[in-house]
Amino acid sequence: MLVGHRTWVFENKPTILSTGTVGGPFEANGNIPNDFDLLHDDMWLKQASFEKAQQTMMEEACQFAVKNSPIEKEQVQFFISGDLINQITPTSFTAKTMGVPYFGLFSACATSMESLALSAFLINGNGADYILSGSSSHNAAVEKQFRYPTEYGGQKPPTAQWTVTGAGAALVAKEGNGPKITSATIGKVVDMGMTDPFNMGGAMAPAAADTISAHFKERDIDPSYYDLIITGDLGHIGREVSLDMLNKAGLQVSAERYVDCGLTIYREGQPVLAGASGSACSAVVTYGHFLNLMKQGEISRILVVATGALHSTLSVQQKDPIPCIAHAVSIESGSDLS
């Protein structure tokens, strides 16, 4: 099952049985509104804080994932998830509501694929039959923690990205109908010495290139194996940097097949500067938009590479460099798998 040093190949091919995706009003006006199960028209979601609103979205995403499946909530054995807020409280409070045994994770915006990889690993090894996997973020909550409250009206540089308000969950099963999880490559922490918290795409690009390169080397396959290689939230800058790094490393990755969730979720004209980010970004775009394309037969093999910047408010204040990570998961339609 372990190929090379950091890639798992799942012989039993765990199934993504169903998904649930929830977004906010900015996402409702975006590029893929039809790929959400629920879109809210209010950032507060009738809650007392943005953090509580984020918790509500994560709860709703989990509820939709179960509702969209053939099983009952009581059959779910584990909940594996995380977010960007201090002590991942929105996710932990969601776990309390769900009443399911819980693994809390933090890989920043790479959490969606870290949770999916671990869910598939557990199920592939007969450690569970059903696991809920996901991640969430809220624009106002994250901005308040990592930068400035939106009410402050601080000016942002063109390299900055817009944090997605949303939550995405996948119900991973040992068997059933749905896309199959075939492998995962676990990221290493990569630190190129960048200290600018307003250029996350540039900081995360080397981690994405490192994980993608390792995935193809250890699986001994070519980039053409996949219909799409999908990064999490590199935005315009990180996408171009990582694509250039991959091509210089000898991996001929087609620009048309190299897409980014942060450049997919919003439409042209929305003021997102370099693109979208947030731990919900790769979760909602993958579990909504790209899996819908797979179900419609438009694509059959994708590699999803969620990217995360592992800094904190304290590390930024101390002028520390920004360590980054990327986790990759390959998802394939069941039609061409034995």
Give one DSSP letter per residue of 276-291, joined into a string: EESTTHHHHIIIIIIH
pLDDT higher than 90, residue 158: no
Residue 6 lies in a domain: yes
Is the domain of 143 the same as that of 202? Answer: no
Cα–Cα nearest to 214, from 184, 239, 244: 184
Residue 338 lies in a domain: no
Domain boundary among 173, 200, 219: 173
Is the domain of 268 the same as that of 295? Answer: yes
Q: What residues have CB less than 8 Å from 80, skipping those under 6 apart?
A: 102, 103, 105, 115, 118, 119, 131, 132, 133, 134
Q: What is the pLDDT of residues 18-73, one digit of tens each?
A: 999 999 999 999 999 999 999 999 999 999 999 999 999 999 999 999 999 999 99
Is the domain of 286 the same as that of 187? Answer: yes
Is the domain of 109 the same as that of 232? Answer: no
pLDDT band at 196 (very low <50, low <70, confident <90, very high): confident
pLDDT higher than 80, residue 142: yes
pLDDT higher than 80, residue 206: yes
Mean pLDDT value of segment 78-83: 98
Domain boundary among 143, 173, 203: 173
Q: What is the pLDDT of residues 222-248, one digit of tens each?
A: 999 999 999 999 999 999 999 999 999
Contact 138, 146 (CB under 8 A): no
Considering its fold, how many domains does the chain have in total? 2
Q: CA-CA distance, 212 to 15, in Å (whole number)? A: 23
**The total number of residues written for the chain in this structure:** 338
pLDDT band at 213 (very low <50, low <70, confident <90, very high): very high
Is the domain of 311 the same as that of 209? Answer: yes
Is the domain of 287 the same as that of 232? Answer: yes
At residue 147, the pLDDT reads 67
User: pTM here?
Assistant: 0.95
Q: What angle do CA 75, 106, 173 make, to 5 degrees?
A: 25
Q: What angle do CA 13, 213, 111 make, to 5 degrees?
A: 60
Cα–Cα nearest to 208, from 226, 189, 195: 189
Query: SS3 of 166, please?
Result: strand
Q: CA-CA distance, 67 to 69, in Å (whole number)? A: 5
The CATH number of whichever domain residue 76 belongs to comes to: 3.40.47.40
At residue 239, the pLDDT reads 97
Residue 186 lies in a domain: yes
Domain boundary among 173, 199, 215: 173
Residue 135 lies in a domain: yes
Which H helix or E strand runs over 208?
helix 200-219
pLDDT higher than 70, residue 336: no
Residue 110 lies in a domain: yes
Is the domain of 198 the same as that of 87? Answer: no
Is the domain of 148 the same as that of 211? Answer: no
Torsion, CA 91, CA 96, CA 99, CA 104, rounded to 10: 40
At residue 337, the pLDDT reads 62
Is the domain of 77 the same as that of 147? Answer: yes
Is the domain of 19 the same as that of 59? Answer: yes
At residue 231, the pLDDT reads 98
Strand 78-82 to 228-231 pairing? unpaired
- Find the domain containing 219 and state its range: 181-333
Mean per-residue pLDDT over the chain, rounded: 94
Is the domain of 251 the same as that of 146? Answer: no
In DSSP notation, 298-315 reads: S--EEEEEEEEE---HHH
Residue 140 lies in a domain: yes
Beta-bridged to residue 313, according to DSSP, are none
Q: What residues have CB less than 8 Å from 297, skipping those under 6 apart?
A: 333
Is the domain of 106 the same as that of 248? Answer: no
Q: CA-CA distance, 24 to 26, in Å (whole number)? A: 6
